[in-house]
Structure 1
Amino acid sequence: MPNTDLTAVTLTGPLTTSPRHRRQAWTVTGLLVVFMMVNFADKSVLGLAADPIRHDLGLSATGFGLANSAFFLLFSLCGATGGLLADRVRPRWLLLGMALLWSIAQIPMALGGGLVTLVASRIVLGAAEGPAFPVAQHTAMAWFPDRRRNLPGALLSVGIALGVVLAAPGLTWLIRHHGWRSAFAAVAAAGVVWAGAWAVFGKGRTSQGQARVTGADSGGGEAGSHGPSYRRILATRTWIGATIGYFCTYWMIALSLVWVPSYLHDGLGYSATAAAGLVAGIWATSAVALLAQAAVTGWLLRRGVSSRWARGRVGGITLLVSALGCGALSQAARGSLTVVLLLVGFGLCGAMSTIAVTTVAELVPAHRRGGALGLMNAVVTTAGLVAPALTGYLVDTQGRAGYQYAVLLAAVLLVLGGTAAVTLIDPARDARRLNS
């Protein structure tokens, strides 16, 4: 019986490039972009509704930070597990199950749960969303050769940004006019709608039954069942450098989702509407940075520039520029310059998320890709466990100055991440070592 799953598998032979294959590849990519939009709309709810939730549930800044960190309690573990499963089972069913579980996890808070329910629902939501990014990237990249992966990889990360850009104004309006619980109901409905669309359109066949990826496009090692172990992959300087850089980016993502709305409102005095607009601006800047990075990296790779420069150096430089923005922002008062520094500091660094993924995808064979990406995601997302709780502690103990200290700490981490990306990432070198 022919396989009707859109997920490409590793076979021998040339890469299928028929018009039908290309249509299916971009159909999958488009659906996965929306998948990531819903994923991050889910994550943004607590940050956008921070003040009314804290008021209604009687939470301190530390308590609110811990409630957000609960989301990441199982997030990293499940991200690694989901990535490993994606190397063994059809990611189509993993993605469908995740989307449905997201929606179920939102319902208790939409119906009136308290603090215990909030924490429990965030833990379940985190477990369901942990594998989302690595599994989605693994699924999309199976349809494209290495030299063409920058755009689909960037588009999935743009979906993250668009999820917040589009959700921030709409969810803020719902929170103000219908209460914060209505926002949970809205994102639950969005998850159900996506699951229905994926069930209908997330299947099909290429012209030869499957997309085919050659060993050259499968990363380091052989394309069959043998190849480098995960232990060897995780010990490469490239995997380590990409993971450190991405960890720092995820630290900024966690702050943007959880604390930046409160920082803008309570720390800098912006209205809730203006703060939501600035949050959307951060994610819009991130989307532009992601697409610009994809264009620059793809251009460099097509001209024979090594990934050490096209990916490692480009990603590292974006982190270092963001570090300068955050360092200056920590000392700035409210004003037009603050807005520019905010967009540079929190928006530009998002480009590293795609660079890290495409770098690891280049390094490892296809049959190890899901696991390598999942394990990277597991390490990276521990930033989401630490950043909200630590920032809440700083705000409780230092008042408004706590926000400044949190931004300054972010600048330091970005310097470390940028330095790691520039000095450690070299996929060609490490692929040769994996093959030796």
Structure 2
Amino acid sequence: MALPDDTERADDPADGGRRVAPAVSAPTARTAWSITFLVMILQTINFADKAVLGIVARPLSEDLGLSNADIGLLGSAFYVLFVITGLVGGFIADRVRIVWVLLALALLWSLVQIPVLLVGTFTALIVSRVLLGAAEGPAGALNNVAVFGWFPKSKRGLPSAVVSSGTSLSKILMAPALTVIVAAYGWKAAFWTLMIVGLVWAAVWLVVGKDGPYSVSSARQVARSGAPDGNVTRVSFLRIAALPTFWGGVLGMFAIYGMVAVILTWLPSYFEQGLGFSRVDSGLLFALPSVTGMASMLLVSFITDRLAGRGMTVRVSRGMVSVVALFACGVMLASIPLVHSAWLAVFLVVAGYGAGVASYPLMNVAVAHISPERQVASTLGVFTALFSTSGILAPWLTGHLVDAATTPAQGYTTAFQIFGVVAIIGAVVMALTVDPERDRARIAAIDTLTSADDRS
């Protein structure tokens, strides 16, 4: 696959008027997509580390005598430091080459599995999940930053979707494989597998990983050289965070991320306890939402890239499409308590998840659009960290709802209904706030005033 255009021409007030991006040669295009697919594999490992808890939840609870609330606590523990390191990681990546940041994260993911493998107690699991969350906190944003460095702004939707599809591949490919491994060798074998896979990826990345021509490090080098490139230089991050596109996007993605965290932690248990499927079948069904999720992310992002290339505004091609996807997800999840067929409930979860996650790559592109190039890493890092806070509450809340309900099925469906309503509210908020062109112009105006003050 090659980049659609060799150049990008942009009439953007925040970029200082009309400019031409560097030409992209065929070898560079091949490298760009090679890096993209390698980062997608890292994203696959990232979400497999999250999803493994859902896969081992039942054998783990039986082996260690854990309640549903305990499993929910393990799911939520992952996000305790996840949010903090997500906030910090982006600012580090503004100053350190992204290739080294991703290498360090992959190594940390692998090493923090050791407490589980050596001890295997509930306390060790808590410690390991907290440390794993800390290591993976910056990953979602920085994986996109690494790929954005190889593509101009108008072509970033599809690459972002390819990276995000790693979340789906983790459940389509790795979840069934881990399910079989757990059935054959026990729940610890899943953690061994993930540690080894992470180390192998790190070794490959050490050899082939590199920063792209549109990367944060490239923008930083241009700024240091003093050569004018027409870009906004740097503004206070608080100015960016105050823009409606940023905080409206945070609220919308907060709504959907809680649902994703619950799916990762509880979906196999819901299929087994709530809908009556066998343990192996539940592990295999765990992949179905990811099939629709990957298909919707790739298709919607490809279409919106084409629309953006033909002049459609970022507000419509990224923002409003995300609104529709999030609203559809909310309606389907909120409808689950109203159905009485197990397969219809599976359909609503699968289709709802697929619709909702299509908004992820689009909102990453929309938020990156309002940020100066030198601050894309920190902007996306904070953006991801803030909406990820819903992952702290959602799995724990679901566990308590299941324990408190008359039947497990009732507890799960109540949880899905709550997250569906929250998703609908998030879609409405995004419809009223997300406008990347307007907010990018505001950033340009701030930079212009700052430059004028410096000259005076």
Please report the TM-score for the alignment, with normalisation by the length of structure 2.
0.87
Give the deviation of 1:312 after TM superposition.
Answer: 1.1
Q: What CA distance in whole angstroms lies between the structure 1 residues aligned with 2:373 and 2:317?
A: 21
> In the alignment, what sits opposite 1:52?
59
> Partners of 1:427 and 1:112 in 2: how far apart?
49
Instruction: Tell me the SS of whatever aligns to 1:72.
Output: coil
SS of corresponding position for 1:305: coil
C-alpha deviation, 1:227, in angstroms:
3.1
Contact 1:268 1:333 in 2 (8 A): no
Change (3 A) 1:68 1:255: same
CA pair 307-14 structure 1, distance change in 2 beyond 3 A: closer
- 1:431 pairs with one of 422, 429, 440: 440
The unaligned stretches of length 5 or more in structure 2 are 1-14, 224-228, 446-456
1:276-304, Cα deviation, whole Å (9 max, x unpaired): 22210101110011011112211221221
Q: Measure, in 2, the Cα distance between the counterparts of 1:311 and 1:14.
A: 22
Contact 1:238/1:430 (CA < 8 Å) preserved in 2? yes
Distance across 2 between alignment mates of 1:328 and 1:102: 37
- Give the distance between the partners of 1:369 and 1:212, measured in 2 at CA: 10
Q: Which of 28, 34, 47 is the matching residue for 1:27?
A: 34
Q: Within 2, Cα distance between the matches of 1:42 and 1:153?
A: 20
Shift of 1:44: 0.9
For 1:98, the equivalent position in structure 2 comes to 105
Distance in 2 between residues matched to 1:335 and 1:395, nearest whole Å: 17
In 1: Cα distance, 2:147 partner to 2:243 partner: 24
1:406 is matched with 415
1:72 maps to: 79
CA contact (8 A) 1:16 1:212 kept: no
**1:223 and 2:231 are equivalent in the alignment:** yes
User: What is the Cα deviation at residue 395 of structure 1?
Assistant: 0.9
CA positional deviation for 1:337 = 2.1
**Residue in structure 1 matched with residue 276 of structure 2 by the alignment:** 269
The amino acid of 1:276's aligned partner reads G
Question: Is 1:36–2:39 an aligned residue pair?
Answer: no
CA distance in 1, matches of 2:340, 2:116: 36
Tell me, in whole angstroms, the C-alpha distance in 2 between the residues paired with 1:80 and 1:180: 32
Q: CA RMSD in A?
A: 2.1
AA at the equivalent of 1:272: R
* C-alpha displacement of 1:254: 0.2
Whole-Å separation in 2 of the counterparts to 1:376 and 1:228: 16
| Aligned counterpart, 1:252 | 259
Q: Report the CA distance shift for 1:274/1:205 in structure 2 as closer, same or farther (over 3 A).
A: closer
Question: Using the alignment, how far apart are the partners of 1:39 and 1:60 within structure 2?
Answer: 26
Code of the residue aligned with 1:431 in structure 2: it is R
Whether 1:312 and 2:319 are equivalent positions in the alignment is yes
Q: Are 1:397 and 2:399 counterparts?
A: no
Q: Report 1:62-141 matches (<5 A).
A: 62-141=69-148
Which residue of 1 is the match for residue 8 of structure 2? none
Question: Structure 1 regions of 5+ residues with no counterpart?
Answer: 1-9, 216-220
Question: What is the CA–CA distance in structure 2 between the aligned matches of 1:254 and 1:67, rounded to whole Å?
Answer: 12
Give TM-score scaled by structure 1 length. Answer: 0.91
**Offset at residue 205 of structure 1 (A):** 8.3
Give the CA deviation at 1:204. 7.8
Shift of the alpha carbon at 1:350?
0.5
Conserved? CA contact 1:21–1:211, under 8 Å: no
Correspondent of 2:353 among 346, 352, 358? 346
Whether the 8 Å contact between 1:65 and 1:391 is mirrored in structure 2 is yes
What residue identity is the alignment partner of 2:304?
Answer: T
Instruction: Determine the C-alpha separation between the residues in 1 that align with 2:171 and 2:230.
Output: 39
For the residue of structure 2 that corresponds to 1:348, the secondary structure is helix
Deviation at 1:212, TM superposition (A): 7.3
Query: Once structures 1 and 2 are overlaid, which stretch shifts more, 422-431 or 269-278?
Result: 269-278
What is residue 363 of structure 1 aligned with on the other side? Answer: 370
Match of 2:183 among 156, 176, 186: 176
2-structure distance, mates of 1:330, 1:128: 36
1:20–1:204 distance in 2 versus 1, CA, 3 Å: farther
Q: Which runs of 4+ in 1 moved over 4 A?
A: 210-215
- 1:415 maps to 2:440: no
- Per-residue CA deviations over 1:67-124 (Å, capped at 9, x if unaligned) read 2211111001001111111111111111111111111111232334201110001111
Between the two structures, name the one with larger relative contact order (CA 8 Å, sep ≥ 6).
Answer: 1
Q: Which amino acid aligns with 1:160?
A: T
CA distance, structure 2, for counterparts of residue 14 and residue 359 of structure 1: 19
Q: Does the 8 Å contact 1:245/1:356 carry over to 2?
A: no
Match of 1:189 among 196, 205, 227: 196
Task: Between 387-396 and 301-310, report the one with greater CA deviation.
Answer: 301-310
Find the residue that maps to 1:135 and give its secondary structure. helix
CA contact (8 A) 2:55 2:178 kept: yes
2:288 maps to a residue whose letter is: G
